[in-house]
Amino acid sequence: MKYVLPLPVSINALYSQSRSGRRFKVDEAKAWEQEAWYKLRKCHKFGKAKVEVFITYYFKDNRSDLGNRTKILVDMLQKLRIVDNDNQIWALHEYKEIDKLKPRCEIQVDKYEE
């Protein structure tokens, strides 16, 4: 099944640093995680099985890098126990499209067939 999520926060903007030097996750990332949790909560749980992940990013223009948003998305799969560990992702397919009106990402997780 394919799930539609808002575009994840870029890895470059995921964390900020306090004046004391402590790193923290920015509010935008926390909001994205909350919405992703809501939309992915009923996704099939694969346990320890190897999986294949398909991600299509729909950006508003061509300036965004493809891989900068994958980390938070893969971490969410583990946090939601869709996979027990993100090292179970045996194949990762990422695609980039342009949609000026509706930026988003679509994700599908399937059991990996050898």
- Residue 11's pLDDT band (cuts 50, 70, 90): confident
Q: Which pTM does this prediction carry?
A: 0.88
Domain regions of the chain by residue span: 2-111
Do 25 and 72 meet the contact criterion of CB atoms below 8 Å apart? no
What is the CATH superfamily name and number for domain 2-111? Answer: Holliday junction resolvase RusA (3.30.1330.70)
In the prediction, which pLDDT does 62 show? 92
Do 93 and 52 meet the contact criterion of CB atoms below 8 Å apart? yes
